[in-house]
Amino acid sequence: MIRTRVAEGGRIVIPAEFRKALGLKVGDEVILDLNEGQVTLLTAHQAIRRAQALIRDHISEDSELAAELISERRAEAEDE
């Protein structure tokens, strides 16, 4: 943990050691999650992994979502 301050405009500096540990560079996008009064910072990669884990809980292991989506789109295109 590190103590920091909120600067003008709501800016918070992420300390260099944290940026290095997360692999963050100037201009990288991050996602902030507010949950029960706590803010969590996620890299884009971490957010994608979290979303994949959530989806994985709701589909069977033998599902091929990309193939299913392509099949649905082709069927829709044929109906047009």
41-70 pLDDT, tens digit each:
999 999 999 998 888 888 877 788 888 889
Mean pLDDT (whole number) for 10-34: 94
Q: How far apart are CA 48 and CA 54, in angstroms?
A: 10
Q: How far apart are the first and last CA of the chain?
A: 57
Classified by CATH at the fold level, domain 8-79 comes out as: Pemi-like Protein 1; Chain: D (2.10.260)
Question: How far, in whole angstroms, is CA 64 from its chain's centroid?
Answer: 22
User: pTM to 2 decimals?
Assistant: 0.60
